[in-house]
Each structure stands twice: as C-alpha cells, then as structure tokens.
Amino acid sequence: MPLKYFVFPKQGISLTWHQTSCLPSPSLIAQPAADLNNTPLNLDMSGSGRPRTSSFAEPPGVPGAAAASTGSAAAVGSSTGKSGVPQASGSSSSGCSNLKLARDSGKVTTVVATPGQGPDRPQEVSYTDIKVIGNGSFGVVYQARLIDSQEMVAIKKVLQDKRFKNRELQIMRKLDHCNIVRLRYFFYSSGEKKDEVYLNLVLDFVPETVYRVARHFNKAKSIIPIIYVKVYMYQLFRSLAYIHSQGVCHRDIKPQNLLVDPETAILKLCDFGSAKQLVRGEPNVSYICSRYYRAPELIFGATDYTANIDIWSAGCVLAELLLGQPIFPGDSGVDQLVEIIKVLGTPTREQIREMNPNYTEFKFPQIKAHPWTKGFLP
C-alpha cells in the first residue's frame, strides 16, 4: 500500500463537511503536526440533503481487494469463463435479467440489467477489465469498468436460491445514502450446474477499507491519527442512523465492511448479506455478527434483539481504532464475554434478563468495571 495515501502533511489539517455533499473539503491550517490529535473536526450536520456522489476509481498502485464483501450467509462457488468473465445463459426465473452476449473475444461483456433503484426497466450494461478481487463463502467479487462512463464497479456474485427472494437485494434496493455503497444494477446468470442461478450485484467500487487503513498504521507501529477516527466514525454512525430509520439492522459491522476512498476520506458501509429488516416480535438468529464485534445479548443467545447490536459493534470499531487492536478478542463466545466483563464489569441479573430472559447461567466472577482512563489514555 503506497504510504502517500495515509500520511498527513506536516501542517495540521482541518476537514469541513459541506451541507450539500458527502465530500469533506481539506484545508491546511497553520498548526504544528504535534497538535494534530487535538485538532477539532468541524462537521456540518445540519443538512439532510443527499446528492448522489460518483463512484471512485482505484488510485494507481492501490490493490482493489478492499471492495470484496464478507460475511454473507450464501455459500457459492466461483464460476468464470476463460477470460474471468462471469458466465450466464439465457434462462432465469421470471423478472430476471440475463447475460446477453460477449463481444471482442470476451474482453467486453454486455448484460441486460435492472437498475438498483427506481422502476424495473432493464437496460443493456457493458463492462470490461474484469478481475477477481475477493471470494469467500458468500461468493465472488469482481472488479470491472463500465464502458459508458468508464467508472470502476464491483460485481458481487452470489448463489441464488430460486425458492426465495434475496434479502440483500431487497434491502439494498431501498437504501439511498452517500455513506452506503450504492447498488447500481443487478442481473442474474446461470452456473455450470443445471438450474444453478447466480445473482450479480453491480456496486460502487471503493478501493480501501478502514481495516486496511488501521493495519497500515499498526505495521508502522503507530496509532491511527484521531482526525481519521473522527471522520470515519462520524460517517459510520451517519450510515447507521439512516438504515435504522428504515428498520434495517446490518448485523455485521466491522472494519472490513467499512469502505474508504483514500482521496476523499468518504466512508461507505457495505456488505448487507447479513442485514435484516427487524420486526418486533419476530425471532431472529442469535449467531450473527463477526467475532470481536458481537453484542453481549447475542452471546447470551437472544433472538429478540434490536438494531442496538449495530451500535455495540460500532463502539468496538471505535475502540479498536483508538487502541490499535480489538478491545474484546476471544476465540469463543465465553472468551469474548470474559473480555467484556474485564472492561465493563460483571452484568447484574437484571441486565442479563433484559438481554435474554431465557438465559439461566448466572455463574460469573464478580469483577468491577475497568476505568476508561486506564484503557484509552497513555
């Protein structure tokens, strides 16, 4: 990772958030570099207008692996053509868009895709420069360039169960916010096996993640500057406020799912593969959210939790950025619970009942809360 993308100038830096845009405007101020961590962040939070920002092209030399989403429940295998192009056939379920043709010996792919937002009006979309940038149990993520606009996009390909609607697709089609990765188009393609259908989500491409930014500073044996922490956390909570107002719980907040453009400092929340529209009284699975970022009610096995589990995860991200390491590490739920108790103290019976009324194992060591000043101040 080129160092130039994460080094502040020797002068201080002040970021002002414009009311009509998600773009922070950096301006150098006469301030010693030693005072950088005390620099106040001037963010204008009065405006709720949301103009659409453009996608971000990958800066030269910066790997694109950060755009790969993780944590989706869908299990899928890679299915690519000789040139790495996602393959498709002319058959799909009703309302599905299909891969139409490949031109110029597979270098350009044209599909009939449906816009992510707005009316279902399929249109031809052509892209090229396809390469794999991520894969996992969720599927495969490709990087590509749209022919018409020359913008970079990420194409997330997941196996689609034709018996059900894809929850991630349904949720992303409803979301429209500058701090959430945008669903530009979607289309369906067939796999190598008979009746195998894949959903392809064409998303904004953003080259970096908060995880990689933090790891860069860790490798340099330094702590991420507080100005970065302020900018990133402000945008994360802004995105959470929006999706929670829509009744959506992300359920997998972690640094790897926070995309960052290194040139503008704009953060975009991604990977809604675990997200769900929470309904009061409707049970949910408790084994959700990635290790280190799971709220205690999830560890206690609660199934009627709220979107507050996202806030807990965001707090864990904040602490990790400040400390340079996860605040609640653990190889199991019990290990994580012990780490939580070390910091916050032993939960009372009332607190445990509030998290999960059915939890009956109350044998915890009585530990007082750890003073915050010892954990976060030198």
Q: What value, to the nearest 5°, has the Cα angle with vertex 294 and ends 166 and 374? A: 150
Strand residues in 121-269 grouped as ranges (E) = 123-136, 139-146, 152-160, 183-190, 197-204, 208-209, 248-249, 258-260, 267-269
Q: Please answer whether residues 299 and 291 qualify as being in contact, where contact means their C-beta atoms are separated by less than 8 angstroms.
A: no
**148 CB neighbour count, 10 Å cutoff:** 9
Radius of gyration of the chain (CA): 22
Question: Strands 258-260 and 267-269: what pairing?
Answer: antiparallel
Residue 157 assigned as binding residue: yes
E strand or H helix at 197: strand 197-204
Q: Hey, what amino acid is at 30? A: A
Report residue 339 CA to chain centroid gap. 25
Tokens found for residue 292? 């280190």
Instruction: State how far the Cα of 15 lies from the Cα of 17, in Å rounded to an integer.
Output: 7
Beta bridge partners of 153: 144, 204
Cα–Cα dist 95/187, whole Å: 10
Verify whether residue 176 is a known catalytic residue.
no
**Catalytic one of 44, 129, 148, 252:** 252
H or E element in which residue 171 lies = helix 167-172
Q: What angle do CA 200, 241, 6 make, to 5 degrees?
A: 70
* Cα–Cα nearest to 55, from 145, 158, 147, 139: 145
**Helix and strand element counts for the chain (H, E):** 8, 15
Binding residues for ATP: 157
Query: Would you name the residues annotated as active-site residues?
Result: 252
